[in-house]
Structure 1
Amino acid sequence: MGQMDFIDLELVLSNFHQAANDALKEFSCLLEASCKMIDYSENATYLVEDGQGKKYILRISRPNYHKKEEIEAEIAWLNSLHEQSPIDVSLPMRADDGDYVHAHSYNDTIYYSTLFTFLEGNAPDENNEDDLIQQFETLGEITAMFHKHTIEQHDYYQAFQRMTWDYDTILGQSPKWARWQDGLGMTPARIALYEEASHIIQKKLEAFGKEKTRFGLIHADLRLANLLIYGDEIKVIDFDDCGFGWFLYDLATSVSFIEHMPYLDELIASWVKGYSKIRLLTDAEKEMIPTFILMRRLQLISWIGSRDNETTRLLGENYTLQSDDLVKAYVEKYQDCTN
């Protein structure tokens, strides 16, 4: 990172901090509360403590990603899940004026703030293989609850203004994040191989279709960092990327960054076992799991190549290099399926 980038980052963080301070002014009960940044990746997240033992999570959304009505749609889904399902989610809090979302403008840039209830727990440990495999059975069950609720409320959710996660917005001509071709470590030979895999993915998704039993409102980012383990419970946080996508994409996001680990097949089997307690998967759906996992992997290559934060610096070019064997195996297995 160059010096100019460092200066820009300081300015960005300063704006986030100002937005956080201004956001707390919307809550009379939090005027004396402490506010500490605990994460900065896409958004800035703060731990708020009111001095009386109550904790909250304040999210300052990154500029130019969501419109206010899109964040309000996320909030409507969270409230619906809380009221109509047993899933434990972090709930949005109304400010003194009754609104959930507030806009804060600095230098012609708008930052939206939202306050959420605090959930106890810790992220799963990817290095604890046995526990993780067991936890994925519970995660599969929870994910199926999400999808069952989505199907039951299908017509209601169709009016929501949220992004769509499909081939075009993930790997195609209109990527929401960035082009995987511009990821770290790309060479002409690697791009050619990955293009072949991408073409296969596209054809298989077209054949799979978007029936409402396969495609609807999903969390879209169930990676380990967005799960909280508390005893035998798994709680789900960070619905910032929720949108319309294939249900099996939620499985793919849950193995984000660990798709190359030797225990992947066991994680998938455990997830499917838990999922099937609520919703049965057809053989055609099970056969599509590798396609969704590789699509997500290529999407993450684009994310790493277009972001500069602690996670992307840690993964770097090596994440692309570790993808080669996965891509080659996928192409060898499915290259005759789309001819």
Structure 2
Amino acid sequence: MNTIGSAAESVREPARSPGLIERAITSCLPLWPQLADGRATLINLSENHTFRIDGPEGQRHILRLHRPGYHTRDAIRSELDWLQALRAEGGMPVPRPLPGNDGQFIQQVSASGISERFAVLFAFEEGSEPQVHDRLEPLFETLGGYAARNHLHAAGYESADVVRPRWDESVLDPDGIWGDWRKAPGADAVRDVLDRLDTRLRSDLAAYGKGRERFGLIHADMRLANLLVDGERVALIDFDDCGFGWFAYDFAAAVSFIDDQDVLPGLKAAWLRGYARHRALAPEDIAAMDTLVLMRRMLLLAWTGTHAETDLARSQAHLAQLTAELGEAYLNQ
């Protein structure tokens, strides 16, 4: 019997009910031979619903049910193509997509009462997400190395039809990819500072430029929540946001929600050490990291406004105020 675990019952997607998502999962499982009689448990709700599927004999897989309208089929195909190339050509410990009964990696799911959705299945990766109280500098050194290896691979990646989002100054626009930071909780109270920060960030990023040596295909969400640590092995997961952006933005994403803490300088130094083992960064790239950290903050602020139903957004009630404080310091440099 195909069932959905109780974890899903505590999560609400806007204008949907757990019953609708359960119907979608029930429609998904027959599409892959590995998932017969599987039990689905929701493990993450962000842009998509991500489930762990437990089989009757202990086998496990990860099923990603895409949010309607977020990525096109071509965009998902581009992500999976790069993942497979990173594994085969770059030797990276990244997720392995699994084909369905029809040999295709992307399946389309429809069920009564829900919009059509895309679904993708991945092999299960052992490990656990590191916590903020863990010793983070060694992990950030690993992250820096992974980022550099990804960027080196991206520079020579031969795929003219890559369709992925852009993580550039356009994320600050009113119709930015994660929403409008101006409509985020608490933004009105600090609007003057945030408006000035927006203007300054656009100016500094324009001056930095988008040359091939600093702008290309990136993971774009390389934070602690997207690492799985299993002994000495560290896997990098969740390429759902991969797209075109500044290479140094991968550091900005890595320090999401911890960029206001005293550990930041040490984490930055560790990330740079790991990066330098594989790829050189110019002084201008290192200087741009502070700019990109603030751009990421503004992007996350927009995200909290459009994802108010998530636990993560609810935990960031003071994000606008903290962003304004960091922004004021940046403006006064």
- When normalised by structure 2's length, the TM-score is 0.92
Alignment partner of 2:167 out of 165, 168, 171: 165
How far the C-alpha of 1:173 sits from its partner, in A, is 4.6
More divergent stretch after superposition (12-21 vs 199-208) = 12-21
Q: How does 1:68-107 map to 2 (within 5 A)?
A: 68-106=73-111, 107=113
Gaps of 5+ in 2: 1-10
Alignment partner of 1:111 out of 106, 109, 117: 117
> Could you tell me which amino acid in structure 1 is paired with residue 169 of structure 2?
Y
Partner of 1:142: 146
CA distance in 2, matches of 1:122, 1:230: 7
Partner of 2:310: 309
Give a deviation string over 1:36-72, Cα, whole Å, max 9, x none.
2222222111111222332100010111101111111
Partner of 1:57: 62
Secondary structure of 2:252's partner? helix
Q: How does 1:1-339 map to 2 (within 5 A)?
A: 9=14, 11-106=16-111, 107=113, 109-128=115-134, 131-153=135-157, 156-168=158-170, 170-187=171-188, 190-307=190-307, 308-316=309-317, 318-333=318-333
RMSD of equivalent CA atoms:
1.7
Higher helix share: 1
Secondary structure of 2:110's partner? strand
Residues paired across the two proteins, number: 321
- Conserved? CA contact 2:182–2:188, under 8 Å: no
- Conserved? CA contact 2:174–2:182, under 8 Å: no
> Could you tell me which amino acid in structure 1 is paired with residue 187 of structure 2?
M
- Conserved? CA contact 2:221–2:253, under 8 Å: yes
Give a deviation string over 1:262-318, Cα, whole Å, max 9, x none.
1111111110111000011111111111000000011101111221211111122x1
- Conserved? CA contact 1:215–1:244, under 8 Å: yes
Partner of 1:3: none
- Conserved? CA contact 1:90–1:117, under 8 Å: yes
CA distance in 2, matches of 1:166, 1:41: 21
More divergent stretch after superposition (176-185 vs 290-299) = 176-185
- Conserved? CA contact 2:248–2:292, under 8 Å: yes
**Structure 1 outlier segments of 4+, above 4 Å:** 6-10
CA distance in 1, matches of 2:177, 2:159: 21
- When normalised by structure 1's length, the TM-score is 0.90
How far the C-alpha of 1:86 sits from its partner, in A, is 2.0
Secondary structure of 2:18's partner? helix
Gaps of 5+ in 1: 1-5, 334-339
- Conserved? CA contact 2:20–2:114, under 8 Å: no
Judged with a 3 Å threshold, the aligned counterparts in structure 2 of structure 1 residues 122 and 331 are, in CA distance, closer, same or farther, namely: same
- Conserved? CA contact 1:144–1:279, under 8 Å: yes
Give aligned-pair identity as a percent: 33
